[in-house]
Amino acid sequence: MFLLKNHLIYFIINKDNYFFILEVVGIMYKQFEERAEKIISQMTLKEKVGQLNQITITSFKNDFDSLKSFIREGNVGSIILASSATAGNDPQGHVNMEFYNELQKIAVEESRMKIPMIYGRDVIHGHRTVYPLPLASAAAFNDSLVEKCYHNIAEEAVSDGIRWTFSPMLDLCHDPRWGRMVEGPGEDPYVGARVAEACVKGFQGDDLTAKDSIVACAKHYLGYGASEGGRDYFRTEISDTTLYNTIVPAFRAAVKAGVGTVMSSFNDINGTPVTGSKKYLSDILRDKLKFEGFVVSDWAAVEQLARQGYAEDRADCTKKALEAGLDLDMCDKCYIENLEKLVLDGKVSESTVDLAVKRILCVKLAMGLFDRPYGEKVDYDRAEHLADAKALAAESMVLLKNNGVLPLKKDANIGLVGPFVTERRSLLGTWTLDGSADETPNFLEAMKSKLRGGKLFCRDLSGIFDNSSTINYKSDVVVLALGESYLTTGEAYSVSDISLSKDQLELVDKMHSMGKKTVGVIFSARPMALEGVADKLDAIVYAWHSGSETANAAADILFGDTVPSGKTAVTFPRKTGHIPLYYNITASGRPVDGYYGVNPQNNYVDSVATPMYPFGYGLSYTSFEYSAPKCDTTEIEYNDLLNGKSFTVSVDVANVGDYDGKETVQLYIRDKVASIMRPIRELKGYEKVLIEKGTTKTVSFSVGAESLGFYNENGDYVIEKGEFEIFVGANCLTENKITVRVK
Ligand code: GLC
């Protein structure tokens, strides 16, 4: 074990049949403990409680004198720059940095302890420049580009005085009815972990004190994405093995990357609210994952413990949350109104309060907030940010179908029809607080900009440019601009049916009946049920809600200026009734594994529950051919594996088409027999490579202990001897495999 600057490298302890990876990698917040303890030793109990209190910018309405007095008395540790509890879709005012610097000046120069406040805002997938929603950008499988874009976001946020963001959202989800699936990395824990690392590094960089770094927040810890029925704010049932193998890995990766904060979630797990649970907030998060930052509640998640029937009253909510390990109380005033009395009455120990204060102060010290408490502009290149946004949007979009109609010719006559021809705001996606729809090009403008001698015959459902007969006779091809509003996604915006709207389905039928070549461009944030739609379209580009440059990126793909390379990080079910449908399932005892085409007719009598498009799927304008996997061994000693030995699996991927293209080569494993059933496929590696037409690239993966084990119900990482199938291919359904035995 050795220490790099602010990082502790991890090592493996080999103990009998188990072994433990002690991963304590990331920014070491504990190194600030001594300074924090010195500050705490000078604080009154009232001031300590004040550090655990977060208020909103509207807490005092417009009574700024009262707000300033409240801050001056040391009652505010943090301000969330949001004016409502569901800031994701409610209009939010822009940040007035001068005003917040004025409030900070009171905390830093006029309060007794002069502790700076930390300002947080939901800078989720962009600030002024908006990037694809996380479910979209996960489809890019391009960690370095995501990291670059999230660094761009940090630059823009810092320039508005924001030093802390409530992102990345890492809730894995199997249910696209849930409006918040779009905020997360999809259905797979390995993708979740890679995305977590890329986002945290992008936001925080290597030095939290740097002027272009902001503190990240891994949320919503824990299991919020498993809300039953996709209903927001609903209950979850999660076994510990599912928790450790599916839900926790993304958070583990965020901690390993040095995330400074974690947000506790609204939901309960098996009847225990996470926000009041020592098991989740302390035993797992701190003892197993080694998290050293601080935990902030979700909005009013402390007081809701009473509504959940887990606490008597607000004082009991306060006691239960603090003792569970919840450090900063977001906006419900439970801590500021009850904690001092609880301590004075001997119901909560002051040492517990001190511990929470210390964690918050360590993060504030680690980010240099005491040395640089005021927001200040940083120079950034907005054009570069927009170019990165377009690049990430283009790499996120998924070509789901193409029977040769794409790419379009720039001298073609094109019918452009549908409700997303002139739409702007929805292209930005939910949780866009500071991006401007007015600044966002729409699809009509983007398509027009690409034509060279061609014509557009347009009709969007909001305004008539041409009647459909014109479209019929003059257009060579019809492009349908379809999708869903941002207001059917995000917090408190779930749906019970993931079909396209009725008018859009009718439009598809109408255009199909004209017998024209028809391309569907679908601007939806979640996977939608395309049964009865896909077969009527000659090509489908899934454009998601991909931010400021959605329209331009989609137009680039349609005309072949960009060769599509996205691969979906979430399964597309054929219909709502097939939910949940996800790839990393265990095998049935009966010969029925519908997802993998094994007797799918036996899943339902009224439909076939194979995926419309499986996890990891996406087409290109070129074609790739994979060799059989090669491995440098067919077996490996168990102890060698535990001691860090790995083996290498490689494939040759040939570009046999007419375009240079990027391919995301995916590696899956299957542990054939284990003490708990293991999934038919588990993604354990991916690499996106550019392969020029007519050439072949060898892609290799190192496979070691971290890829072959699983977590048992106690959260211990376990590897067992036996046979492992290693698959390497273009999506989760690949049968291109080799077998390796751990003996
Ligand atoms: C909301 C959301 C959370 C967000 C927080 C602050 O309720 O659940 O994702 O970061 O409150 O706006």
Q: Considering only 52-66, 159-173, 646-660, which range has the smallest mean pLDDT?
A: 52-66
Would residue 329 be called left, alpha or beta, if left means φ above 0 and alpha means ψ between -120 and 50 degrees? beta
| H or E element that contains 338 | helix 334-344
Task: State the number of CA atoms in the 13 A half-sphere of 269 facing the CB.
Answer: 24
**Which amino acid does the sequence have at 444?**
L
Task: Considering the domain delimited by 24-367, tell me its CATH architecture.
Answer: Alpha-Beta Barrel (3.20)
Q: Is the CB of 113 under 6 A from ligand 1?
A: no
Residue 593 annotated as catalytic: no
Q: Provide CATH 3.20.20.300 ranges for the chain.
A: 24-367
CA geometry: angle at 369 spanning 364 and 373, to 5°?
Answer: 140
Residues 9/25, Cβ–Cβ less than 8 Å: yes
The CATH number given to 622-742 is 2.60.40.10
Q: What are the structure tokens assigned to 551, written together? A: 């329209």
- pLDDT tens profile 72-130: 999 999 999 988 888 888 888 888 999 999 999 999 999 999 999 999 999 999 999 99
Question: Does the structure show a pLDDT above 80 at 473?
Answer: no
Residue type, 469: S
Burial 350-388, CB ≥16 within 10 A → b, else e: bebbbebbbbbbbbbbbbbbeeebebeeeebeeeebbeb
Cβ of 232 below 6 Å from ligand 1: no
* Ligand 1 in reach of 298 Cβ (< 6 A): yes
The CA 33 to ligand 1 mean position distance, Å, reads 29
| pLDDT tens by residue, 651-677 | 999 999 999 999 999 999 999 999 999
CA distance 36 to 417: 61
Residue 82, ligand 1, Cβ within 6 A: yes
Instruction: Report how far ligand 1's centroid is from the alpha carbon of 431 (Å).
Output: 10
- Residue 27: pLDDT band with limits 50, 70, 90: low
Report H helices in 160-248.
189-204, 240-242
C-alpha 253: how far from chain center: 13
Please give the distance, rounded to the nearest whole angstrom, from the Cα atom of residue 121 to the centre of ligand 1: 9
Residues of the chain with CATH 2.60.40.10: 622-742
697 φ, ψ to 5°?
-125, 140
615's enclosing H/E stretch is none
Nearest Cα residue to 506 out of 537, 478, 533, 540: 533
Span 279-325, pLDDT tens digits: 999 999 999 999 999 999 999 999 999 999 999 999 999 999 999 99
Backbone angles phi, psi at 223, to 5 degrees: 85, 10
Locate 612 and state its tokens. 């419309």
Q: What is the pLDDT of residue 345?
A: 98
The CA distances from residue 158 to 42, 155, 387, 439, 553, in Å, are: 31, 5, 20, 21, 27
Q: Is 122 in the pocket of ligand 1 (CB under 6 A)?
A: yes
Average pLDDT, the chain: 94
Query: Which residue's CA lies nearest to atom 12 of ligand 1?
Result: 87
> In this structure, what DSSP letter does residue 222 have?
T
Q: What average pLDDT does this structure show over 642-653?
A: 97
Tell me whether strands 164-165 and 118-121 are parallel, antiparallel or unpaired: parallel
> What amino acid occupies position 678?
R
Q: In the chain, which residues fall in CATH 3.40.50.1700?
A: 398-565
The pLDDT of residue 93 is: 83
311 C-alpha to center of ligand 1: Å?
22
Cβ pair 666, 734 in contact under 8 A: yes
Pick from 731, 393, 735: which is nearest to 570 by CA? 731
Q: How confident is the model at residue 462 (pLDDT cuts 50, 70, 90)?
A: very low
From the alpha carbon of 88, which atom of ligand 1 is closest? Answer: 12
Give the neighbor-by-neighbor strand order of the sheet with 217-221: 217-221, 261-264, 294-297
Distance 592 CA to ligand 1 centre (A): 40
Instruction: Provide the pLDDT for residue 615.
Output: 98
Answer whether 353's CB lies under 8 Å from 339's CB: yes
pLDDT band at 469 (very low <50, low <70, confident <90, very high): low
> Residue 7: pLDDT band by 50, 70, 90 thresholds?
very low
Compute CA distances 184 → 150, 302, 526, 647, whole Å.
15, 23, 11, 32
Give CA–CA dist 468/459, Å, rounded. Answer: 7
Question: What's the 3-state SS for 342-375?
Answer: HHHCCCCCHHHHHHHHHHHHHHHHHCCCCCCCCC
- According to the model, what pLDDT value does residue 515 have? 87
CA distance 117 to 326: 18
Q: What is the pLDDT of residue 739?
A: 98
Q: Please compute the mean of the pLDDT values over residues 212-233 and round it to a whole number.
A: 98
Distance 124 CA to ligand 1 centre (A): 10
> In this predicted model, what pLDDT tens digit does every residue of 413-447 receive, in sequence order?
999 999 999 999 999 999 999 999 999 999 999 99
| Amino acid residing at 89 | N
Residue 166 alpha carbon, nearest atom of ligand 1 = 10
**CA-nearest residue, atom 3 of ligand 1:** 298
Q: Is the pLDDT of residue 9 over 50?
A: no
DSSP 290-304: ---SEEEESTTTTTH
**350, 45 Cβ separation under 8 angstroms:** yes
- pLDDT one-digit tens code per residue, 614-627: 999 999 999 999 99
Pocket flag, ligand 1, residue 493 (CB < 6 Å): no
Cα dihedral 539→438→446→543 (10° resolution): -20
Residue 30 is predicted with a pLDDT of 85
**Ligand 1 pocket: which of 81, 263, 329 to mutate (most atoms <8 Å of CB)?**
263
Sort strands 7-8 and 3-4 into parallel, antiparallel or unpaired.
antiparallel
Task: Supply the residue whose CA is at minimum distance from atom 11 of ligand 1.
Answer: 299
Residue 310 Cβ inside 6 Å of ligand 1? The answer reads no
551-573: average pLDDT: 98
Q: For residue 368, which of 204, 587, 507, 233 has the smallest C-alpha distance?
A: 204
**Is 124 close to ligand 1, i.e. is its CB under 6 Å away?**
no
Question: In angstroms, what is the span from residue 330 Cα to ligand 1's centroid?
Answer: 9
Residues 505 and 225: their CA atoms lie apart, in Å, by 29
Return the best residue to mutate from 124, 166, 303 for the ligand 1 pocket (most ligand atoms within 8 A of CB): 166
* CA-proximal residue: ligand 1, atom 8 (nearest): 298
Does the pLDDT value for residue 1 go beyond 80?
no
pLDDT tens-place string over residues 395-408: 999 999 999 999 99
Q: How far is CA 574 from the centre of its chain?
A: 23
Paired with 279 in beta bridges are none
> Which one-letter DSSP state was computed for residue 32?
G
Q: Which residues sit opposite 710 in a β-bridge?
A: 718
Domain 398-565 in CATH 3.40.50.1700? The answer is: yes
Q: Which atom of ligand 1 is nearest to the CA of 87?
A: 12
- HEC string of 530-597? CCCCHHHCCEEEECCCCHHHHHHHHHHHHCCCCCCCCCCCCCECCCHHHCCCCCCCECCCCCCEHHHC
Q: What secondary structure does DSSP assign to 634-676, as a single string?
A: SEE-HHHHHTT--EEEEEEEEE-SSS-EEEEEEEEEEESS-SS
Ligand 1 atom closest to 266 (CA): 8
Q: Is the pLDDT of residue 210 over 60?
A: yes
Q: What pLDDT, on a 0 to 100 scale, did the predictor assign at position 59?
A: 83
Helices (H), 205-268: 240-242, 249-256
Question: Prior bond to 134 cis, omega within 30?
Answer: no
- Total residue length of the chain: 743
CB neighbours of 606 closer than 8 A, spacing ≥ 6?
Answer: none
Please enumerate in sequence order all residues whose Cβ is within 8 A of that of 475, keeping only pairs 6 or more positions apart, or say none: 413, 414, 415, 457, 516
Whether the CB of 166 sits within 6 Å of ligand 1: yes
Q: What is the pLDDT of residues 223-247, one digit of tens each?
A: 999 999 999 999 999 999 999 999 9
- pLDDT (0 to 100) of residue 2: 36
Ligand 1 mean position, distance from CA 30 (Å): 27
Residues 192/250, Cβ–Cβ less than 8 Å: yes
- How far apart are the C-alpha atoms of 75 and 72, rounded to whole Å? 8
Task: Identify the pLDDT of residue 664.
Answer: 98
Assess whether the C-beta atom of 56 lies below 6 angstroms from ligand 1.
no
Residues in contact with 650: Cβ distance below 8 Å, sequence separation at least 6, in sequence order: 629, 630, 631, 698, 699, 700, 701
- For 502-537, the pLDDT digits (tens) are 999 999 998 888 888 999 999 999 999 999 999 999
Catalytic residue of the set 212, 298, 388, 460 = 298
pLDDT tens for each residue of 330-364: 999 999 999 999 999 999 999 999 999 999 999 99
88 CA to middle of ligand 1, Å? 8
